[in-house]
Amino acid sequence: MSIAESGGRPGDHARDGRADDRKDGRDETREERADRRWHETVQEVRVVQTGAQILFGFLLSVVFTSRFAELGDFDRGLYVAAVVLGALSTGALISIVACHLAVSGRRVKPQLVQTAGVMVAVGMGLLACTVGCSLLLLLRVAIDDTAAAVITAVVAGLILLCWVVLPVLMRAQGDGD
């Protein structure tokens, strides 16, 4: 039966009578939308988490190198900050799985998806800080302090542009449609 034959509107669920409350015209229920968004979030986390874990693993190994003993107080503090931020980032990203395990089967997937979105944003923010601290530490060892600070600031600005500013601009443009 077509939508016209069922007396429904485009976006209505002709098969079960449930109306689509989305403006994007997707033919899905609230639960179907939550399932789709959950799967999308899990895929995104897989990408981000891999990078976070590789960086964190690298940071953990630095303390065992002979060159670590040569670091000054500022650089040691920078290293500690990078390790702590890396641990927090990894923890925030993994927390999504812990939340899912805790509420699985309790019919709260829309809330889970919302919470996961917040945790991904927190994890990515912490990851950006980890990258910044790590980059500054490595560059301070490799080149002079001023150049290290300038390069780190430029990289941090580009990360901010790509991870925050562009998505916000895209969202704002999408809201007008």
Residues 6+ apart with CB under 8 A from 136: 78, 148, 149, 152
Question: Is residue 17 pLDDT above 70, yes or no?
Answer: no
CA 98 to chain centre: 16
Structural domain total, the chain:
1
In this structure, what are the phi and psi dihedrals at residue 19, rounded to the nearest 5 degrees? -80, 145
C-alpha span between 40 and 43 (Å, rounded): 5
pLDDT in tens, 125-142: 999 999 999 999 999 999
Indicate yes or no: pTM above 0.85. no
pLDDT in tens, 80-131: 999 999 999 999 988 888 888 888 778 877 888 888 889 999 999 999 999 9
Contact 86, 55 (CB under 8 A): yes
Q: Which domain holds residue 160?
A: 3-175
Residue 15: which pLDDT band, with cuts at 50, 70 and 90?
A: very low
Contact 99, 115 (CB under 8 A): yes
In this structure, what are the phi and psi dihedrals at residue 77, rounded to the nearest 5 degrees? -65, -40
Residue 50: which pLDDT band, with cuts at 50, 70 and 90?
A: confident
